[in-house]
Amino acid sequence: MKTILKPALVLTLLCLLVTAAVAGVNLLTRDAIAAADKAAAEASMSALIPGESFTPLNADGLRSQEAYTAESGFIFIAEANGYGGPVRVMTAVDKGGAVIGVIVLNCDDETPGLGQNAKKPAFTDRFKGKNGEIQLVKGGAAVSYTNTVEAITSATYTSTAVKDCVNMALADYRLCKEGEQ
């Protein structure tokens, strides 16, 4: 019994020390990580709507987690489940209700070479100019319709997550416009 107790105690103390060290590093870097995340988000917003300043909106009652307004449009940040986990998307919508642009902020848990292709402009540019409810199609079927977007081949879950986020942004745009009237 004594031969098992000593190694178990040492292992327990070692685990506690490692846990405390990780918690300490997290505490020390929390502010720097938050500042870097904020700077990255602001850079993404400026990429979608260049040369403007953004004012946060109260996201209560919206489907998006974050919302911002600018002189020429709105920015919405929404999240939906993809194949490997949450997919976080930033969508810019102009004052007329059309998508200006889409940036996939996070899809790192999606399949490399398939779902992670959602970050590429070859996919996100498909949403530009769309307004109203967007439908996803596979294999080029009915892509010529106004509010359809072709899914990424072999990445339907990820494509659907991005489409759902853009649709959330468009729905939130309509709520924001109704609130102005």
Helix (H) or strand (E) holding 117: none
- Contact partners, residue 96, CB within 8 Å, separation at least 6: 131
pTM: 0.81
Structure tokens at 92: 């810019």
Walk along the chain (181 residues) and give the pLDDT tens digit of each residue: 667 888 888 899 999 999 999 999 988 998 988 888 888 888 888 999 998 999 999 888 899 999 999 999 999 999 999 999 999 999 999 999 999 999 999 988 888 888 899 999 999 999 999 988 999 888 766 555 678 888 888 889 999 999 999 999 999 999 988 766 3
d(CA 66, CA 33) in angstroms, rounded, equals 18
Determine if residue 52 is left, alpha or beta; phi over 0 gives left, psi from -120 to 50 gives alpha, anything else beta. Answer: beta
Q: How many CA atoms lie within 13 A of 138 on its CB side?
A: 7
Whole-number pLDDT of residue 138: 84
